[in-house]
């Protein structure tokens, strides 16, 4: 938390730090302590350290989120097929149960670590850290972290990734961003998937999906593609190539990047006390408020 | 439901701060939750008893303050209070706004006592 710059003071919590100050005594000899720390500060710490791991190994890390079955694994399979020769790719798979997704990725000739989250409906930074110890990051260019299929919980947990991608598949309906604002606001890129199904689901209007996204004050790109038919993959692959190049440039400059919209915790972490200044890297200007 | 994970993380944080302040008991925990935090207050309240049992905060009052969703327009500068899925400027209608508040997920403050729990106190009398 930050004592000086006020970065974590919002109109909602201002009264706690103004007035009677940070440490006020109440009656009955109780001590009132102002904290103003993210509820997930432990997770955010671990995430910052994961990010340092990625940066020091020259890895570009992406967190893929969507509802169950929106096509995350199919997208990875298609992407590996197209870019597997140009980049070294590794995948961390998060699912409640089974090794199925990791096996699908391994069948493409790419290393995959499966995290079985049990009852947890999201990945957290500690689970990802454990998985990282089973992976040799040195030769890896791109690490995809496929989160648990869930449009709610994964959005709250920073994993240390550089970019968040949220998939919206055509069968889900075009108003999903309006129904799940936290998830879609977190996306640096929204991928509209399964577009080969558009002819059969004529009430899905891509422009309505985009309008719902803009109403969340998001300027993130929205790209359409079909992993099944392979149509319109090129824009996505270009986005990925550009991002890998940008990550290499950041590493050269000793900078890092966090997803554009950060949960509260990241905002606080960037102002962490000096004892935590180790290993968190320099934050590039582009990593700030979007 | 990630509210239990959040509760457990909160509990660890509260215990650490209580120890730093040599407190024997936590009387009150004040949180700030915005609708865009992704954490639901009722679910958190529901999960809380599971996380606090047997801790210094077992008898603590959990107070959750809601934070309003407010945006500042990057085009005209107006500040508007809005709903979570329409973060548009209420003045000029532009979507290019910056969130001022509404995504808070904060442990705002704690009230601590030196005394142990009531039960221990009664034994001493
Ligand atoms: N028509 C069509 N089907 C697709 C496409 N992409 C994926 N699917 C199908 O959708 C189903 C789910 O795809 P997955 O890639 O497993 O989805 P996922 O998001 O990884 O699912 P979970 O990991 O379980 O959340 C499978 O039957 C896929 O064959 C697509 O572009 N078009
Ligand atoms: Mg999958
Ligand atoms: Zn640290
Ligand atoms: Zn305006």
Q: What DSSP line would sit under B74-90, residue for residue?
A: TTT--EEE-BTTB---T
Beta strands at B25-33 and B105-113: parallel, antiparallel or unpaired: antiparallel
Taking each helix axis from N to C end, the angle separating B3-20 and B41-52, rounded to the nearest 10 degrees, works out to 60
pLDDT above 70 covers a percentage of chain B that reads 91
Q: Note the pLDDT tens digit of each residue in A148-187.
A: 999 999 999 999 999 999 999 999 999 999 999 999 999 9
What ranges do the domains of chain B cover? 2-67+102-123, 68-101
The mean per-residue pLDDT over the stretch A10-29 comes to: 49
Q: Phi then psi for A265, rounded to 5 degrees?
A: -60, -40
Higher local confidence (pLDDT), A30 or A32: A32
Confidence bin at A260 (pLDDT 50/70/90): confident
Contact criterion met (CB below 8 Å) for B108 and A17: no
The ipTM value here is 0.84
Interface of B with A in 51-80 (CB under 8 A): 65, 67-68, 70-71
Question: Into which CATH architecture does domain A56-262 fall?
Answer: 3-Layer(aba) Sandwich (3.40)
Contact criterion met (CB below 8 Å) for A94 and A177: no
The yes-or-no verdict on residue A48 having pLDDT over 80 is yes
From the list B36, B67, B85, which residue is nearest A215 (CB)? B85
pLDDT above 70 covers a percentage of chain A that reads 80
What is the C-alpha to C-alpha distance for residues B89 and A150, in angstroms, rounded to an integer?
30
> What pLDDT sits at residue B2?
85
Q: Given the structure tokens 């650490």, which residue do they identify?
A: B16
Which residue CA neighbors atom 6 of ligand 1 most closely? A71
Q: Note the pLDDT tens digit of each residue in A78-136.
A: 999 999 999 999 999 999 999 999 999 999 999 999 999 888 889 999 999 999 999 99
Residue A17: which H helix or E strand, with range?
Answer: helix A14-17
Of residues A61, A62, A65, the one with CA closest to residue A168: A65
Q: Which atom of ligand 1 is nearest to the CA of A197?
A: 1
Between the CA of A48 and the centroid of ligand 3 the distance, in Å, is: 7
Contact criterion met (CB below 8 Å) for B2 and A153: yes
Confidence bin at A29 (pLDDT 50/70/90): low
- Residue A264 has, within 13 A of its CA and on its CB side, a CA count of 30
Interface of A with B in 207-266 (CB under 8 A): 212, 214-217, 219, 263-265
Q: Note the pLDDT tens digit of each residue in B7-51.
A: 999 999 999 999 999 999 999 999 999 999 999 999 999 999 989
* Cβ–Cβ contact B114 with A under 8 A: yes
From the list A12, A153, A178, which residue is nearest B2 (CB)? A153
Kindly write down the DSSP assignment for every residue of A185-214, as one continuous string: HT-SEEEEE-GGGTTT-TT--HHHHHHHHH
Chains A–B, number of C-beta pairs less than 8 Å apart: 146
> What pLDDT sits at residue A160?
97
Report the topology of domain B2-67+102-123: hypothetical protein PF0899 fold (3.30.2320)
Of residues A66, A57, A67, A65, the one with CA closest to residue A88: A57
């Amino acid at each position: 938390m930050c004592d000086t710059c006020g970065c974590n003071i919002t109109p909602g919590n201002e009264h706690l730090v103004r007035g009677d100050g940070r440490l006020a005594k109440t009656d009955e000899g109780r001590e009132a302590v102002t904290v103003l720390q993210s509820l997930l500060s432990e997770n955010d710490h671990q995430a910052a350290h994961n990010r340092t791991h990625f940066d020091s190994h020259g890895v570009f890390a992406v967190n893929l989120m969507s509802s169950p079955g929106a096509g995350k694994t199919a997208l990875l399979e298609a992407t590996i097929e197209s870019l597997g020769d140009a980049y070294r790719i590794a995948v961390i798979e998060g699912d409640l149960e089974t090794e199925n997704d990791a096996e699908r990725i391994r069948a493409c000739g790419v290393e995959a670590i499966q995290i079985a989250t049990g009852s947890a409906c999201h990945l957290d930074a500690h689970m990802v850290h454990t998985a990282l110890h089973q992976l040799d990051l040195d030769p890896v260019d791109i690490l995809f972290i496929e989160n648990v299929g869930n449009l709610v919980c994964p959005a709250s947990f920073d994993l240390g990734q550089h970019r968040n991608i949220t998939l919206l598949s055509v069968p889900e309906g075009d108003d999903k961003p309006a129904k799940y604002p936290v998830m879609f606001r977190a996306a640096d890129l929204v991928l509209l998937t399964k577009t080969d199904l558009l002819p059969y689901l004529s009430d899905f209007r891509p422009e309505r999906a985009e309008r719902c996204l803009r109403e969340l004050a998001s300027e993130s790109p929205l790209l359409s593609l079909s992993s099944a038919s392979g149509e319109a993959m090129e824009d996505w692959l270009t986005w990925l190539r550009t991002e890998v190049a940008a990550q290499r440039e950041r590493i050269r400059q000793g900078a890092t990047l966090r997803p554009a919209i950060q949960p509260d915790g990241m905002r606080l972490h960037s102002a962490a006390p000096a004892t935590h200044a180790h290993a968190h890297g320099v934050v590039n200007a582009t990593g700030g408020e979007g | 439901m990630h509210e239990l994970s959040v509760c457990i993380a909160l509990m660890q944080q509260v215990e650490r701060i209580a120890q730093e302040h040599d407190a024997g008991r936590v009387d009150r925990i004040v949180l700030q939750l915005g609708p865009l935090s992704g954490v639901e207050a009722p679910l958190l309240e529901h999960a809380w008893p599971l996380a606090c049992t047997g801790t210094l905060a077992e008898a603590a009052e959990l107070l959750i303050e809601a934070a309003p969703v407010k945006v500042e327009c990057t085009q005209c500068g107006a500040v508007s209070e809005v709903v979570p899925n329409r973060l548009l400027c209420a003045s000029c209608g532009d979507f290019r706004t910056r969130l001022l508040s509404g995504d808070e997920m904060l442990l705002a403050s704690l009230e601590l006592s030196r005394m142990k729990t009531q039960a221990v106190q009664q034994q001493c009398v």
